[in-house]
Amino acid sequence: MNRILITGGAGFIGSNFVHYMLQRFPEAQLVNLDALTYAGNLENLADIASDPRHRFVHGDIRDAALVNRLFDEFDFDTVVHFAAESHVDRSITEPELFLTTNVVGTQTLLEAAKRHWKIAPDDKYSREYRPGVRYLQVSTDEVYGALGREGKFTETTPISPNSPYSASKAGADLVVRAYHETFGLPVSITRCSNNYGPYQFPEKLIPLMIHNCQTDQPLPVYGDGMQIRDWLYVEDHCSAIATVLEKGRPGEVYNIGGNNEKANIEIVKLIIHSLGKSEDLIKYVKDRPGHDRRYAIDNGKITSELGWKPAYTFEDGMAKTIAWYMEHTEWMEHITSGAYQSYYQKMYG
Ligand SMILES: NC(=O)c1ccc[n+]([C@@H]2O[C@H](COP(=O)([O-])OP(=O)(O)OC[C@H]3O[C@@H](n4cnc5c(N)ncnc54)[C@H](O)[C@@H]3O)[C@@H](O)[C@H]2O)c1
């Protein structure tokens, strides 16, 4: 794992992963391909702008010519694919964009990896690849659909996505699996629960609530706020991905989660109390269509087989996260001006 293509590395988890890798693997050379959609933000990478181990490339994962050129130029041995349209609400208004980015974009990367890594690229029966290469698909627990009150998602839970977002991620996972089964490409798929931490775009629950609390604006809570998610501090997601790259068996799926099930309303109240504000700020709004009720991850496979475990408790992770947003008000102000305002009006009235 020396020459790594990271896609979507100007987004929330991708930029955290770039920072994590530069610290943990000082020898690694990173190429960061990102289209800088509304969710991509070069300010997330400002502190490493002059680091010679990180090269930012502005471009689209669906641009096969560009992706192949990058493989030729940098001779990657690893791909970590984060780039995606990632917000469920947006997938309800623009499903087509989710399918092209998340499914077609993934296939474009897989095809380039196959072409460059296969020892006999023109032999359709050959399944031999250069040693040490790996393609890692960053997926989500949302592909499994919703749970009732009991039970957890394991890697063998049937895929049953409910939103255009999760359907596009599930579709991408199946294409990754097919490249492994049909062509023998060494792949890994990770399916993580909800992340929180620095650099998250404030359309997502935790940064949205911190920002609105800080600025004394109403806190929009969908439905009764009792939707349960299993939360993981983003640095723990990054360490899990690095663990799968180092030790994961090719062709396997690994669930990633921290056993932190919380209802949305609990998180909103925790933020309100941490910032010393009043619960009167809460404003219940009409629930989103198809809103999954509960997700929970069984992380037994990655913990027992690969020896990974999260380093942060939910309380520590939330304290670090709230402190980060309080210290980075300028970062937030740059995002919450302009186009984001009209989006916010459309979604929450
Ligand atoms: N956020 C979570 O809680 C969570 C949980 C599990 C899995 N995931 C997965 O992790 C990945 C990253 O999620 P995130 O929350 O950081 O997303 P994000 O929306 O913050 O970032 C996505 C990045 O991808 C880039 N991008 C979008 N379309 C592109 C394209 N066509 N070509 C190149 N770049 C493009 C954007 O500019 C942005 O920088 C996604 O694949 C998501 O499905 C996220």
Domain ranges of the chain: 3-196+232-260+293-314
Query: For ligand 1, is residue 83 a contact (CB within 6 Å)?
Result: yes
- pLDDT value of position 221: 96
Closest atom of ligand 1 to CA, residue 37: 37
Burial 100-130 (b: 16+ CB within 10 A, else e): ebbbbbbbbbbbbbbebbbeeeeeeeeeebe
Does the beta carbon of 84 lie inside 6 Å of ligand 1?
yes
Task: Assign residue 22 a region (left: φ > 0; alpha: ψ between -120 and 50; beta: otherwise).
Answer: alpha
> What per-residue confidence (pLDDT) applies to 289?
87
Residue among 39, 45, 44, 43 at smallest CA distance from 87: 39
Q: Is the CB of 138 under 6 A from ligand 1?
A: yes
How far apart, in whole angstroms, are the C-alpha atoms of residue 242 and residue 21?
A: 8
Task: Using the mean position of ligand 1's atoms as its centre, give its distance from the Cα of residue 254 in Å.
Answer: 19
CATH code given to domain 3-196+232-260+293-314: 3.40.50.720
- What is the rounded distance in angstroms from the CA atom of residue 239 to the CA atom of residue 241? 5
**Which residue owns the Cα nearest ligand 1 atom 26?**
83
**Pocket lining: 142 vs ligand 1, CB cutoff 6 Å:** no
40 lines ligand 1 (CB under 6 A): yes
Helix count and strand count (H, E) for the chain: 13, 12
What pLDDT does residue 343 have? Answer: 57
Mutate to test the pocket of ligand 1, among 19, 31, 37 (most ligand atoms within 8 A of CB): 37
| Number of residues written out for the chain | 349
Report the atom number in ligand 1 closest to the C-alpha of 199: 20
195 Cβ inside 6 Å of ligand 1: yes
pLDDT per residue of the chain (349 residues) written in tens, 0 to 9: 799 999 999 999 999 999 999 999 999 999 999 999 999 999 999 999 999 999 999 999 999 999 999 999 999 999 999 999 999 989 999 999 999 999 999 999 999 999 999 999 999 899 999 999 999 999 999 999 999 889 999 999 999 999 999 999 999 999 999 999 999 999 999 999 999 999 999 889 999 999 999 999 999 999 999 999 999 999 999 999 999 999 999 999 999 999 999 999 999 999 999 999 999 999 999 988 888 899 999 999 999 999 999 999 999 999 999 999 999 998 998 888 766 556 556 665 5
Residue 47: predicted pLDDT = 94
Residues assigned a catalytic role: 141-142, 165
What is the residue type of 215?
Answer: T
Q: Among 67, 90, 87, which residue's Cα sits nearest to residue 79?
A: 67
Residue with tokens 């790259």: 245
